[in-house]
């Protein structure tokens, strides 16, 4: 219930304006976000690479309703990839980028899907030039079909384009089976949005069981599974399944969010596993932060107190 309320708050324009226009809870924001600008994000990525971790960078923003803004976000990604190449960080996919389809136009009233596909194509071309890859994030349930259509279409030209499957959705086992093909990069997460009840598993245990089933199909397949979770039980299951399937560390990776279980990120990397940190930056942090608070309500009291104090 609290999670659903919080996720509804992530879409509220009034709350977004209040939160973003006041210097609220900087401590909470800084825990999850690498700063407002690309320079800070590149510096943070360099530190993580130095600690033996891989990185995927996300320029914060979503639900763009303006084609100019979608183009500006695309340009930001292209400039970022240039910086990463210059810094020697992009090579071999050490630092890649994650793109939200609605940030580059998917939600536009006219030709949203076409615009997002064109913009993601431009980001993919820049990533290829820099020597790295792109992963397309998954957002609200209403965007899943269009997002998967875009990924399928773009993979003709960019076979290393990654996509995301949300285990909370009932459809996801079938999606994983279809995506477990040679070279296919698939990030498996639980899902950070609130889909309609009929489309989702109601209980946390149901989502976890779905995650384990999806994991099974991805690990048994011939793609490149990207296991995005902080859940200790699922990490153990993933390690055991990978071992039993004879998958060596370079044939899959773990992924975790910046600021969440950093000691576990280091522990896994020390075992020789590939571990990638999802590292967001930018000033439009509100939606991202509220989804993180929905996963971890313990942080909520601190955040709301600072919001009330400063408003
Ligand atoms: C690399 C990466 C990329 C992602 N991309 C997407 C995407 O494209 N689309 C999408 O819908 N979702 C995405 N997610 C979010 C994901 O769907 C979950 O909402 C999130 O990962 C929490 O689920 P969990 O698997 O960690 O399990 P949970 O059961 O939520 O958490 C397990 C444990 O991890 C710790 N933890 C989890 N979250 C937090 C937090 N915010 N703060 C502090 N501790 C925490 C706690 O100890 C918790 O007990 C992504 C997650 C990761 C790691």
pLDDT digit string, tens, across residues 111-146: 999 999 999 999 999 999 999 999 999 999 999 999
Catalytic hit among 155, 185, 187, 274: 187
Q: Which residues line ligand 1 (CB under 6 A)?
A: 137-138, 164, 166, 187, 189-193, 228-231, 255-257, 260-261, 278, 292, 295-296
Catalytic annotation on 49?
no
Residue 28 is predicted with a pLDDT of 77
Q: How much distance in Å is there from the Cα of 13 to the middle of ligand 1?
A: 24
Smallest Cα–Cα separation from 298: which of 31, 16, 23, 22?
31
Beta strand segments in 118-274, E:
134-136, 163-166, 185-189, 224-228, 253-257
**Tokens standing for residue 93:** 């996919």
Whole-number Å distance between alpha carbons of 225 and 181? 10
Ligand 1 atom nearest residue 168's Cα: 17
Ligand 1 atom nearest residue 293's Cα: 41
Catalytic hit among 58, 137, 160, 284: 137
Ligand 1 atom nearest residue 190's Cα: 17
Beta strand segments in the chain, E:
54-59, 95-99, 134-136, 163-166, 185-189, 224-228, 253-257, 275-281
Catalytic annotation on 137?
yes
Atom 31 (ligand 1): residue with closest C-alpha?
Answer: 231
Atom 30 (ligand 1): residue with closest C-alpha?
Answer: 295
Rounded to 10°, the helix 13-21/286-295 angle is 100
Stretch 149-156: mean pLDDT, rounded?
A: 98
Residue 311 banded pLDDT, cuts 50, 70, 90 = very low
Q: How much distance in Å is there from the Cα of 295 to the middle of ligand 1?
A: 7
Q: How much distance in Å is there from the Cα of 110 to the middle of ligand 1?
A: 33
**Residue 14: pLDDT over 80:** no
Rg (CA), the chain: 18
DSSP letters, 175-186, are: HHHHH-STT-EE
pLDDT 10s digits, 38-50: 999 999 999 999 9
| Contact in structure between 132 and 81 (CB atoms under 8 Å) | yes
Entry pTM: 0.93
pLDDT 10s digits, 73-85: 999 999 999 999 9
Residue 284 is predicted with a pLDDT of 86
pLDDT 10s digits, 173-214: 999 999 999 999 999 999 999 999 999 998 999 999 999 999
């Amino acid at each position: 219930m609290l999670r659903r309320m919080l996720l509804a708050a992530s879409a509220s324009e009034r709350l977004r304006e209040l939160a973003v226009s006041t210097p609220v809870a900087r401590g909470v924001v800084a825990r999850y976000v690498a700063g407002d600008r690309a320079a800070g994000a590149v510096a943070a990525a360099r530190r993580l690479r130095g600690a033996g971790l891989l990185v995927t960078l996300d320029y914060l923003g979503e639900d763009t309703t303006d084609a100019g803004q979608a183009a500006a976000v695309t340009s930001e990604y292209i400039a970022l990839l240039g910086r990463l190449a210059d810094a020697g960080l992009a090579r071999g996919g050490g630092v890649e980028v994650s793109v939200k389809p609605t940030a580059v136009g998917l939600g536009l009233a006219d030709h949203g899907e076409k615009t997002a596909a064109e913009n993601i194509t431009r980001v993919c071309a820049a990533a290829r030039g820099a020597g790295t890859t792109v992963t397309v994030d998954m957002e609200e349930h209403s965007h899943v079909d269009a997002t998967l259509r875009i990924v399928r279409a773009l993979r003709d030209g960019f076979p290393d384009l990654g996509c995301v499957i949300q285990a909370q959705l009932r459809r996801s086992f079938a999606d994983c089976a279809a995506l477990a093909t040679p070279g296919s990069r698939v990030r498996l997460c639980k899902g950070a949005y609130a889909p309609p009840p009929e489309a989702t598993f109601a209980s946390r245990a149901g989502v976890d069981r779905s995650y384990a089933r999806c994991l099974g199909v991805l690990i048994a397949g011939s793609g490149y599974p990207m296991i995005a979770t902080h859940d200790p039980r699922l990490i153990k299951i993933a390690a055991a399944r990978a071992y039993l399937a004879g998958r060596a560390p370079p044939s899959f990776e773990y992924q975790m969010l910046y600021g969440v279980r950093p000691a576990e990120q280091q522990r896994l990397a020390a075992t020789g596993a590939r571990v990638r940190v999802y590292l967001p930056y930018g000033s439009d942090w509100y939606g991202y932060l509220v989804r993180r608070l929905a996963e971890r309500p313990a942080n909520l009291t601190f955040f709301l107190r600072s919001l009330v104090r400063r408003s």
